[in-house]
Amino acid sequence: MITTRWLRRVDYATTYASMQAFTEKRTLVDRSCDDEIWLCEHPAVYTQGLAGKPEHLLGPSDIPVIQTNRGGQVTYHGPGQVMAYALIDLQRAGYFIKEYVYRLEEAVIRTLLHFGVTGHRVSGAPGIYVRLDDPFGHGRLPQSPGKRSDTPGLQQAPDFSGLGKIAALGIKVSRNCTYHGLALNVAMDLEPYARINPCGYPGLASVDLSTIGVVVSWDDAARVLNDKLVAYLSP
């Protein structure tokens, strides 16, 4: 069973500490507790992943930077973005980390589809992207996983040509239990993304639903995303 907690607007650092405490308790004291999804948004904040490099912070100015233990590089969180923190016992759910990431991404893709938008995966770059010139078109990307003609043994850099990132993923797994999760951009001030290299990629465009012409409230977007996450993360 997955329980949803609607946290609304909450401080990032406090929420991060609560996720750690929840996961520590369930892994060391009571493994039988329900899985949970926490839905919220944060005041403006940059978060660095374990691999985060300071050179990707171009000029944070008055926005605080918080070091975290999730994977990945720097990203931005702020009002108008749905944060979905998934606290899942993977051992009990019956799937591994790679499939877990796939399920998170699929929930976002299905959420976007609910609003008429086509979301895409990009080979070598977790998260979900949209075509900037045709966010509603259904053609598959040449840079989709499995479509690129990669040279065996040679890892190619992700190709973001013509794309904007609309959802970011960053996870942590402790004793088969996950925390952190994903961020879906709904209706934000996107300017703070210009002060970083999002997810460590210089020039990567960041978009939200409002900039591609989809008018939807935070509550409605969060409700649809929650429904998709519950469906796709269930055992």
Catalytic residues: 199
How many Cβ atoms are within 10 Å of 150's Cβ, its own excluded? 12
d(CA 21, CA 52): 23
- Dihedral over Cα of 13, 19, 25, 27: its sign: negative
Q: How many Cβ atoms from other residues are within 10 Å of residue 134's Cβ? A: 12
C-beta separation of 230 from 39 below 8 A = no
CB 85 within 8 A of CB 64: no
CA distances from 94 to 25, 51, 125, 216 (A): 21, 28, 25, 34
Pairing of β 177-185 and β 65-67: unpaired
> For the residues of 144-169, what is the DSSP string, one character each?
STTTS-PPTT-PPPP--TTEEEEEEE
